Amino acid sequence: MSHFLSAADLSRERAEHLFRVAAALKQGWKAGRRGAPLSGRTLALIFEKPSLRTRVTFEVGIVQLGGRAVHLSGSEIGLGTRESVPDAARNLSLWVDGIAARVYSHETVEGLARHATVPVINALSDFEHPCQALADFFTLWERGIDLGAMRLCWVGDGNNVCHSLILLGALLGTTIVVATPPGYEPEARVQQTVHKLGGRLTVTHDAREAATGADVIYTDVWTSMGQESERERRLEAFSRYQVNETLVAFARPSVLVMHCLPAHRGEEITDGVLDGPHSIALDQAENRLHAQKAVILDLLGGSLDDA
């Protein structure tokens, strides 16, 4: 990879390689190894949207690898207003070794990649969240789960996280069933790409049908940043798509429940499920750090032997 903009930028072999690197980095850090494979390297963090997990994990990640981060808020850099995306990309390429961008429009991160001469990482856009999907599948992989024999049920909005999950799931051979209200399905072009990749994807409007026999149930907020004006309409449309104890009972007894966080407790998921014995949401959050470290190390050319 020269950039990481989409889960579809990976292959099965590349994803599994990143899982192994992430596992080694995680184990090494917990064992007290403090190598600096990216000593002297700098990662620019462009954040048009506020963040807890994404900012902390990228900033801490580059520091743990021996490098430094430069945080640029949307108001500071003014992409597309104060400064054009191509100009920002060309200038940043003169000073830093990589760019991670959390933006509203996917066109912005594509524009950065098109004009930058350093690697660009999609830290979230309105279309995809590939770092989240990578961390999520790593979380399942490190538990020894056979991703090719797994049934994952997505309940809720067919949003950016859903797009990345079904794309990466297609590459890994995972069976995925997406349950959304009518009109909120994953974009048709993403579904087409999944099928071209040979993915096993079913889209339904029946949450219980989707959850039946599932090894994993995954949900996300019904109203994402930038959709606040749609909140009341979405609350009504998604009212039958809550991940609660009743829905979880349709899945396998060993089901794992995932949520990328932040959660709107009492909306898309109940406290009892999110804090319950099936939930691995905090494992996902922890693994954002290690999966993203693997991506940073890979793109910036560091050696795992030095970590």
Could you report the per-residue pLDDT of 44-58, keeping only the tens digit for each? 999 999 999 999 999
| 216 shares a domain with 142 | yes
132 counts as catalytic: yes
| 38 shares a domain with 170 | no
Does the structure show a pLDDT above 90 at 277?
yes
With cut-offs at 50, 70 and 90, classify the pLDDT of residue 227. confident
Largest CA distance in the chain: 55
Whether 23 is covered by a domain: the verdict is yes
Whether 306 is covered by a domain: the verdict is no
129 counts as catalytic: yes
- Mean pLDDT, residues 28-39 taken together: 97
Range of the domain at 31: 7-129+288-294
Distance CA 220, CA 124 (A): 14
Whether 302 is covered by a domain: the verdict is no
Does the structure show a pLDDT above 80 at 216?
yes
131 counts as catalytic: no
| 140 shares a domain with 56 | no
Where is pLDDT greater, at 76 or 211? 211
**Which is the catalytic residue, given 3, 129, 259, 290?**
129
Q: Give the bridge partners for 126, in sequence order.
A: none
With cut-offs at 50, 70 and 90, classify the pLDDT of residue 41. very high
| 95 shares a domain with 201 | no
| 255 shares a domain with 140 | yes
With cut-offs at 50, 70 and 90, classify the pLDDT of residue 248. very high
Residue pair 213/154 in contact by the 8 Å Cβ criterion = no
The mean-pLDDT minimum among 78-82, 103-107, 271-275, 293-297 falls in 78-82
- C-alpha angle 163-165-25 in degrees, rounded to nearest 5: 135
64 counts as catalytic: no
| 153 shares a domain with 235 | yes
pLDDT one-digit tens code per residue, 279-307: 999 999 999 999 999 999 999 999 999 99
Q: Give the bridge partners for 120, in sequence order.
A: 99
- The pair of three-digit structure tokens given for residue 16, joined into one six-digit string: 């599994």
φ, ψ of residue 257 in degrees (nearest 5) = -110, 130
| 92 shares a domain with 149 | no
| 166 shares a domain with 95 | no
Instruction: Supply the CATH number for residue 13's domain.
Output: 3.40.50.1370
| 144 shares a domain with 255 | yes
pLDDT (0 to 100) of residue 19:
98
Could you give the number of structural domains in the chain?
2
Does the structure show a pLDDT above 80 at 133?
yes
Where is pLDDT greater, at 227 or 151? 151
End-to-end CA gap in the chain? 20
**Which is the catalytic residue, given 278, 288, 290, 292?**
288
Taking all residues of the chain, what is their mean pLDDT, rounded to a whole number? 97
Q: How many CB atoms lie within 10 A of CB 144?
A: 6
pLDDT (0 to 100) of residue 121:
98
With cut-offs at 50, 70 and 90, classify the pLDDT of residue 126. very high
pLDDT (0 to 100) of residue 80:
87
264 counts as catalytic: no
Tell me what percent of the residues of the chain surpass a pLDDT of 90: 94
| 64 shares a domain with 21 | yes
- The pair of three-digit structure tokens given for residue 179, joined into one six-digit string: 């349950």
- The pair of three-digit structure tokens given for residue 215, joined into one six-digit string: 């090894």
Q: Write down the pTM of the prediction.
A: 0.97
Does the structure show a pLDDT above 80 at 118?
yes
Whether 2 is covered by a domain: the verdict is no
**Which is the catalytic residue, given 220, 284, 290, 292?**
220
